[in-house]
């Protein structure tokens, strides 16, 4: 066979393969090592069930680039079949009347029984399912390199006072105490855990979820900014612009001692072949034990003209909440299943702890939505809060000025 005929044959085969199943285009921002591995399982599941996954990946942790891409596609009248959207934004998209109703898949697959009651309202609009959740991530984790702590003769901190003592020792021993990236969402991720730790769960709810002006302007908020400033003094000069996964790499390579990040960081440790307990540890952000800041990834589906595409979307929604997918995906992603009753055996200690903590925290009213990760407030308010935190982080603004700025920023967006 000539080379030309071989190539032509291969192209023909490729062509026929893509005709094989209806394409389902999925927008997401899972592009780091661990994230990509996890999302490829969703792709495999869909393809194995007779459809063709069309990847619409937009790089950028926390998804702001992805959300910009989504808005322009919807405005151009050409939305993807499914998009990774979460929290109050689900309601905002639903209000525009562009989302598919998933009630039939939900009913056929018993979602009302499977999904914890306290989370269900996030995925429903006027009582109808318009989103399918994928996982639960915990935000208030601190990732630790135990060897660095040992070499520095430092103790793993459980309070901010202990943190300062440990960080000084680590710095003196020639390591970077805190691996930090320089993007607004990364700064907000630390800040919200600080607020939770210093103010406690009731204060967090008042300030970061209910946006109560008194709580936002309080002394507790000022103290939280002071703590953020203190943490910054333990980061390195190259932090600005650094991606979160590169900060995680600093911890597993032994350059830095700690990172404050949600448990998608675990996906990076795993991809790098690192083992929990020996190579790295996950502990609570100081002063936050017993509270759980949650972040639930989910997909919304856009109404389609083509009946086959609608079927493909529903198949995707169905597969996502099956035990099989909940297990493979969450083990790789670092998160835990969003449905009840998934066998625990395949999960590591960090995940098992997280699963138990969700239930315990729900009981004590300490299960709280993450503001930094789109679960607590609208995108407009979140953006205003990010601006205040980032300005403070990147300047020498005083904590009391930042506190006042926070009250005003939220007031203007409300």
* Residue 284 or 297 having the CB closest to ligand BGC: 297
Residue 127, phi-psi category: left (phi > 0), alpha (psi -120 to 50), beta (remainder): left
Closest contact distance (angstroms) between CB of 10 and ligand BGC is 35
Instruction: Kindly indicate which of the ranges 5-13, 61-69, 285-293, 404-412 contains the residues binding ligand BGC, using the contact rule CB under 6 A.
Output: 61-69
Neighbours of 91 (CB within 10 A): 17
* Residue 318 or 373 having the CB closest to ligand BGC: 373
Among 21, 25, 29, 242, binds ligand BGC (CB under 6 A): 29
* Residue 29 or 269 having the CB closest to ligand BGC: 29
- Concatenate the DSSP letters of all residues of 236-296 into one string: -TT-BT--HHHHHHHHHTTSEEEEE--TTHHHHHHHTT--BTTTBEEEE-TT-TT-EEEE-
CA dist list (Å): 139 to 333, 366, 369: 14, 13, 9
Closest contact distance (angstroms) between CB of 292 and ligand BGC is 15
* Residue 35 or 315 having the CB closest to ligand BGC: 35
Q: What is d(CA 307, CA 46) in angstroms, rounded to the nearest whole number?
A: 17
Closest contact distance (angstroms) between CB of 28 and ligand BGC is 9
Closest contact distance (angstroms) between CB of 157 and ligand BGC is 25
Among 25, 26, 35, 252, binds ligand BGC (CB under 6 A): 35
Q: What is d(CA 132, CA 124) in angstroms, rounded to the nearest whole number?
A: 9
With beta carbons less than 8 A apart as the criterion, state whether 69 and 280 touch. Answer: no
* Residue 89 or 313 having the CB closest to ligand BGC: 89
Residues 6 or more apart whose Cβ sits within 8 Å of residue 390: 184, 187, 188
Provide the 3-class DSSP secondary structure of residue 65: helix
* Residue 29 or 51 having the CB closest to ligand BGC: 29
Closest contact distance (angstroms) between CB of 96 and ligand BGC is 22
Residues 6 or more apart whose Cβ sits within 8 Å of residue 27: 56, 57, 58, 66, 69, 70, 73, 80, 82, 83, 84
Among 373, 392, 402, 409, binds ligand BGC (CB under 6 A): 373
Instruction: Kindly indicate which of the ranges 59-67, 102-110, 268-276, 356-364 contains the residues binding ligand BGC, using the contact rule CB under 6 A.
Output: 59-67
**Chain CA centroid to CA 76, Å:** 28
Instruction: Kindly indicate which of the ranges 55-63, 119-127, 150-158, 317-325 contains the residues binding ligand BGC, using the contact rule CB under 6 A.
Output: 55-63
Q: Which residue, 394, 408, 386, 406, is CA-closest to 63?
A: 386
Adjacency order of strands within the sheet including 292-295 = 137-138, 292-295, 367-369
Binding mask 317-356 for ligand BGC (x = CB under 6 A): ----------------------------------------
Using the rule CB under 6 A, is 63 a contact of ligand BGC?
yes
Closest contact distance (angstroms) between CB of 190 and ligand BGC is 14
What is the footprint of ligand BGC within residues 260-319 (CB under 6 A)?
264, 295, 297
Closest contact distance (angstroms) between CB of 253 and ligand BGC is 20
Using the rule CB under 6 A, is 242 a contact of ligand BGC?
no
Q: Which residue, 213, 167, 135, is CA-closest to 404?
A: 213
**Chain CA centroid to CA 286, Å:** 20
Using the rule CB under 6 A, is 61 a contact of ligand BGC?
yes
Q: What angle do CA 306, 11, 81 make, to 5 degrees?
A: 25
Closest contact distance (angstroms) between CB of 201 and ligand BGC is 21
* Residue 378 or 408 having the CB closest to ligand BGC: 378
> What is the contact surface with ligand BGC in residues (CB under 6 A)?
29, 35, 61-63, 137, 264, 295, 297, 373
């Amino acid at each position: 066979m000539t080379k030309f005929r071989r190539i032509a044959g291969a192209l023909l085969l490729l062509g026929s393969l893509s005709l094989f199943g209806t394409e389902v285009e999925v927008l997401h921002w899972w592009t780091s090592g661990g994230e990509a591995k996890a999302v490829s399982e969703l792709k495999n599941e869909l393809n194995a069930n007779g459809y063709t996954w069309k990847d619409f990946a937009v790089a950028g942790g926390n998804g702001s680039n992805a959300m910009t891409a989504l808005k322009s596609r919807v405005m151009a009248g050409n939305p993807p079949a499914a998009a990774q959207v979460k929290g109050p934004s689900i309601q905002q998209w639903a209000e525009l009347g562009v989302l598919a109703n998933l009630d039939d898949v939900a009913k056929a697959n018993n979602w009302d029984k499977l999904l914890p009651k306290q989370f269900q309202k996030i995925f429903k609009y006027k009582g109808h399912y318009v989103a399918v959740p994928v996982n639960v991530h915990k935000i208030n984790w601190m990732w630790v390199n135990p060897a660095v702590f040992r070499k520095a003769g430092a103790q793993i901190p459980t309070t901010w006072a202990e943190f300062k003592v440990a960080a000084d020792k680590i710095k003196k021993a020639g390591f970077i105490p805190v691996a930090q990236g320089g993007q607004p969402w990364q700064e907000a991720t630390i800040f919200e855990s600080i607020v939770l730790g210093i103010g406690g769960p009731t204060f967090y709810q008042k300030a970061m979820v209910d946006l109560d002006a008194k709580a936002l302007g309080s002394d507790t908020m000022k103290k939280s900014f002071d703590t953020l400033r203190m943490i910054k003094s333990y980061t390195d000069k190259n932090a600005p612009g650094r991606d979160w996964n590169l900060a995680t790499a600093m911890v597993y390579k032994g350059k830095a001692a700690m990172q404050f990040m949600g448990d998608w960081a675990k996906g990076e440790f795993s991809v790098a072949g690192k083992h929990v307990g020996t190579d790295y540890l996950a502990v609570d952000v100081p002063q936050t034990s017993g509270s759980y800041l949650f972040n639930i990834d989910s997909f919304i589906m856009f109404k389609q003209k083509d009946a086959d595409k609608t079927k493909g979307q529903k198949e995707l929604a169905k597969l996502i909440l099956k035990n099989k997918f909940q297990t493979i995906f969450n083990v790789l992603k670092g998160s835990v299943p969003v449905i009840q009753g998934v066998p625990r055996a395949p999960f590591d200690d960090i995940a098992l702890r997280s699963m138990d903590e969700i239930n315990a925290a729900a009981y004590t009213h300490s299960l709280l939505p993450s503001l930094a990760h789109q679960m607590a407030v609208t995108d407009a308010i979140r953006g205003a809060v990010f601006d205040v935190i980032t300005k403070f982080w990147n300047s020498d603004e005083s904590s009391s000025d930042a506190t006042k700025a926070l009250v005003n920023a939220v007031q203007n967006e409300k």
